[in-house]
């Protein structure tokens, strides 16, 4: 295939994409294949000679769609949505064609400067202070790792990278049990260790208990350990838990601890002024992450990390050998010095397209609809005698159990969830909450409608009777 063939095959791919989205509601949300089904349809050895594009496209159409869980399905109510708005898809196609390596300003000036502007657009949209800067990461996991590494360096007076941790007392990181598992992994990779990630008990609202946090810090200092940082939570993955930030941040300020706020899902909703109460005090955090690819409509991967003082992360991550220097330019932004990877994609382009194509108000309207429809569904499930709400809704996320008379709620819920996902009309996932097996519901797919959300009630109650 040559570049001169590109328009023909792009048109062919575009036709498939348009048909795919026009008929996606007719397809099961979760892939209905068994383990090994797809691999069995692929050749066991690579081709020695070129295969014509017609055959390749044809094989794609025959093999791939039936083996995909359709994350863009309007009735995908599992995990958190990973969206692909049409405007973002166009931008991604252009990004792929440009194929720019955006590690330095000089290797891609437009990518760097658009990224700086887009981050400031979102800073304004979320009413964060003027001093906040930021960087686009691939995922919230990478942003959290960057923050934990910054905690390590901040706590060791920026000597950890040079000397390692063997010459230092144990570093301690604090969070609640509601944070994402990426915090655990970040502590592994940073050399801090699982034992030094201290999970602080939560209160009845599933928020980190400030008194117990202070006690843990005081106890650790007395034992000769070095508190390094606190990871906070707004919209936790499991049940949408939100820490009460002000008292926790007051402790952090008193103890001089670096703070990171994981708002990967819920952070997108902060473009809605009436919802910002859930992260009251966020402007006092050192690092904040949210994922536009979860709720705003940007294609994966796309995660924005705000930084109160970028110099902390740049000192932690920055490495500038001579071959990465830009001659005669010292006051430029090289985003590779803010992140773990050297190589970077032009992720800002899809955000530029997205915000302009829909406008902030168009994006707000979508999220407000998702929240309102989820509230309606929550009320209907809560009123049904065979179901019990297990956690109250936060934004568009709530959890429930199937609790028919005389049945074990955990077993009944697990059996119902299996039937729901085998049925294919909707897709839900589970979590463990206070030792109980509960079913999660979260709305947020870009083209989701009220009818899609209400269908969830019909499917759930219909299959519960069969169950």
Res 380: pLDDT? 97
Shortest CA distance to 205 belongs to which of 184, 183, 178, 229? Answer: 178
CA distance 160 to 317: 12
Q: For residues 232-259, give the mean pLDDT.
A: 94
> Per residue in 47-97, pLDDT tens?
999 999 999 999 999 999 989 999 999 999 998 888 999 999 998 998 888
CA distances from 190 to 162, 320, 340 (A): 13, 21, 12
Q: Under a CB-based contact definition with an 8 Å cutoff, are residues 305 and 347 in contact?
A: no
3-state secondary structure of 171: strand
Between β-strands 287-290 and 258-262, what pairing exists: parallel, antiparallel or unpaired? parallel
Most confident of 281-285, 312-316, 327-331: 281-285
> For 229, which DSSP code?
E
Please work out, in degrees rounded to the nearest 5, the angle formed at the alpha carbon of residue 384 by the alpha carbons of 378 and 387: 80
> Per residue in 18-57, pLDDT tens?
999 999 999 999 988 889 999 899 999 999 999 999 999 9
CA distance 323 to 90: 34
What is the C-alpha R_g of the chain?
A: 24
The mean predicted confidence, pLDDT, of the chain is: 91
Res 328: pLDDT? 59
The CB density around residue 58, as the number of other CB atoms within 10 Å, is 11
Q: For residues 373-401, give the mean pLDDT.
A: 96
CA distance 109 to 256: 37
Residue 467, pLDDT > 70, answer no
Which helix (H) or strand (E) segment holds residue 387: the answer is: strand 387-394
Residue 225, pLDDT > 60, answer yes
Residue 253, pLDDT > 80, answer yes
Please name every residue paired with 171 in a beta bridge, in sequence order, or none if there are none. 226
- Report which of residues 343 and 374 the model is more confident about: 374
Shortest CA distance to 394 belongs to which of 174, 175, 178, 181? Answer: 178
Greatest CA span in the chain, whole angstroms? 76
Q: Under a CB-based contact definition with an 8 Å cutoff, are residues 227 and 189 in contact?
A: no
Confidence of residue 321 (pLDDT cuts 50, 70, 90): low
CA distance 355 to 118: 9
Contacts of 32 (CB under 8 A, 6+ apart): 66, 422, 424
How many CA atoms lie within 13 Å of 410's alpha carbon, on the beta-carbon side?
Answer: 7
Res 344: pLDDT? 85
CA distance 402 to 408: 9
- Report the percent of the chain where pLDDT is more than 70: 97
The CB density around residue 90, as the number of other CB atoms within 10 Å, is 15
Q: What are phi and psi of 452, to 5 degrees?
A: -60, -45
CA distance 7 to 14: 10
Q: For residues 201-218, give the mean pLDDT.
A: 95
3-state secondary structure of 442: strand
CA distance 299 to 276: 24
Length of the chain in residues, anyone?
Answer: 467
CA distances from 217 to 176, 205, 251 (A): 14, 22, 9
User: Please, is 164 exposed, middle or buried when counting C-beta atoms within 10 Å of its C-beta (0-12, 13-18, 19+)?
Assistant: exposed
Please name every residue paired with 260 in a beta bridge, in sequence order, or none if there are none. 231, 287
Distance from the Cα of residue 392 to its chain's centroid: 21
Q: For residues 137-153, give the mean pLDDT.
A: 92
Q: For residues 435-450, give the mean pLDDT.
A: 95
Res 237: pLDDT? 86
Res 261: pLDDT? 96
Domain 101-345 has CATH 3.30.9.10: no
Res 336: pLDDT? 79
Q: Under a CB-based contact definition with an 8 Å cutoff, are residues 237 and 263 in contact?
A: no
CA distances from 448 to 165, 183, 328, 442 (A): 49, 31, 51, 11
Alpha helices in 126-262 (DSSP H): 140-155, 160-163, 181-189, 210-222, 245-255
Residue 466, pLDDT > 70, answer no
Between β-strands 258-262 and 197-200, what pairing exists: parallel, antiparallel or unpaired? unpaired
Res 73: pLDDT? 92
Q: Under a CB-based contact definition with an 8 Å cutoff, are residues 389 and 366 in contact?
A: no
Res 326: pLDDT? 66
Q: Where are the domains of the chain?
A: 101-345
> Per residue in 343-373, pLDDT tens?
788 788 999 999 999 999 999 999 999 999 9
Res 140: pLDDT? 86
Res 366: pLDDT? 96
Whether residue 301 has a cis bond before it, omega within 30° of 0: yes
Q: For residues 176-200, give the mean pLDDT.
A: 90
CA distance 363 to 365: 5
Edge-to-edge strand list for the sheet holding 287-290:
133-137, 303-307, 287-290, 258-262, 226-233, 171-176, 197-200
Residue 322, pLDDT > 60, answer no
Alpha helices in 267-408 (DSSP H): 292-295, 310-317, 348-383
CA distances from 399 to 78, 260, 261, 367, 379 (A): 11, 26, 23, 19, 12
Confidence of residue 163 (pLDDT cuts 50, 70, 90): confident
């Amino acid at each position: 295939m040559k570049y001169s063939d590109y328009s023909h095959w792009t048109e062919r791919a575009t036709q498939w994409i348009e048909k795919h989205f026009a008929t996606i509601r007719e397809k099961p949300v979760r892939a209905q294949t068994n383990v090994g089904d797809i691999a069995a349809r692929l050749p066991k050895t690579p081709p020695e000679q070129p295969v014509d594009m017609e055959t390749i496209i044809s094989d794609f159409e025959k093999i791939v769609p039936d083996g995909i869980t359709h994350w863009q399905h309007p009735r995908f109510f599992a995990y958190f949505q990973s969206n692909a708005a049409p405007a973002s898809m166009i931008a991604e196609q252009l990004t792929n064609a440009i194929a720019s390596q955006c590690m330095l300003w000089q290797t891609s000036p437009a990518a760097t400067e658009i990224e700086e502007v887009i981050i400031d657009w979102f800073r304004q949209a979320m009413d964060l202070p003027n001093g906040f800067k930021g960087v686009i990461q691939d995922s919230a996991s990478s942003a959290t790792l960057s923050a934990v590494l910054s905690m390590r360096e901040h706590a060791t007076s920026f000597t950890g990278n040079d000397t390692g941790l063997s010459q230092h007392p144990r570093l301690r990181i604090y969070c609640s049990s509601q944070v994402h598992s990426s915090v655990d992994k970040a502590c592994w990779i940073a050399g801090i260790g699982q034992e030094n990630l201290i999970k602080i008990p939560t209160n009845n609202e599933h928020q980190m208990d400030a008194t117990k946090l202070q006690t843990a810090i005081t106890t650790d200092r007395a034992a000769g350990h070095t508190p390094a940082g606190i990871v906070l939570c707004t919209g936790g993955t499991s049940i949408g838990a939100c820490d009460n930030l002000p008292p926790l941040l007051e402790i952090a300020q008193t103890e001089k601890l670096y703070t990171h706020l994981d708002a990967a899902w819920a952070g997108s909703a902060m473009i809605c002024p009436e919802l910002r109460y859930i992260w009251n005090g966020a402007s006092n955090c050192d690092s904040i992450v949210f994922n536009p690819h979860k709720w705003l409509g940007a294609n994966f991967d796309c995660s924005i990390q705000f930084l109160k003082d970028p110099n902390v992360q740049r000192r932690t991550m920055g490495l500038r050998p001579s071959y990465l220097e830009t001659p005669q330019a010292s006051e430029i932004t090289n985003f590779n010095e803010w992140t773990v990877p050297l190589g970077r994609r032009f992720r800002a382009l899809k955000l530029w397209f997205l915000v302009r194509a829909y406008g902030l108000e168009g994006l707000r309207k979508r999220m407000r609809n998702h929240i309102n429809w989820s509230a309606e569904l929550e009320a209907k499930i809560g009123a049904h005698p065979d179901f019990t709400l297990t956690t109250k809704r936060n934004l568009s996320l709530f959890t429930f159990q199937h609790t028919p008379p005389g049945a074990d709620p955990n077993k009944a819920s697990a059996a119902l969830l299996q039937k729901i996902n085998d049925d294919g009309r909707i897709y839900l996932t589970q979590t463990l909450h206070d030792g109980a097996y509960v079913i999660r519901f979260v709305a947020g797919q870009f083209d989701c409608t009220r009818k899609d959300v209400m269908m969830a009630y019909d499917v759930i109650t219909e299959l519960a009777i069969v169950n």
